[in-house]
Amino acid sequence: GAVVSQHPSRVICKSGTSVKIECRSLDFQATTMFWYRQFPKQSLMLMATSNEGSKATYEQGVEKDKFLINHASLTLSTLTVTSAHPEDSSFYICSARGSGRQGATEAFFGQGTRLTVV
């Protein structure tokens, strides 16, 4: 399957600082990428849909000014957590749409980024 790479895999930052997470599609072009957040013992929650060359679409309840998404190329999307607070500590996961059989698409996921805000 297609490969999606996230960087960094782990990051610890101080409260009030900003953190950038990168998501790259390594062997295919991804016009659309998705960002998820997962708190301990919970399922993945979709945060936003990132479209190459246009503004991201955020899910209800997700602050777009706090979670900045940039999708400047067909292989890279970034999520910046601005003015991070301890409650932003979570597992952030990106996915990119791959290609499947006609009428279906598969989403391939990065390995996730564990963010800890202290």
Partner 1 sequence: DAKTTQPPSMDCAEGRAANLPCNHSTISGNEYVYWYRQIHSQGPQYIIHGLKNNETNEMASLIITEDRKSSTLILPHATLRDTAVYYCIVRVTDSWGKLQFGAGTQVVVTP
Contact residues toward partner 1 (CB under 8 A) are 1, 4, 6, 32, 34, 36, 43-46, 49, 91, 93, 95-98, 100, 103-112, 114
Contact predicate 88/114, CB 8 Å: no
Closest distance to partner 1 from the beta carbon of 16 (Å): 26
- Between 66 and 98, name the residue whose CB sits nearer to partner 1: 98
Closest distance to partner 1 from the beta carbon of 4 (Å): 8
Closest distance to partner 1 from the beta carbon of 115 (Å): 13
- Between 62 and 82, name the residue whose CB sits nearer to partner 1: 62
Query: SS in 3 state form for the chain?
Result: CCCEEEECCEEEECCCCCEEEEEEECCCCCCEEEEEEECCCCCCEEEEEEECCCCCEECCCCCCCCEEEEEEECCEEEEEECCCCHHHCEEEEEEEECCCCCCCCCEEECCCEEEEEC
- Between 18 and 111, name the residue whose CB sits nearer to partner 1: 111
Closest distance to partner 1 from the beta carbon of 58 (Å): 13
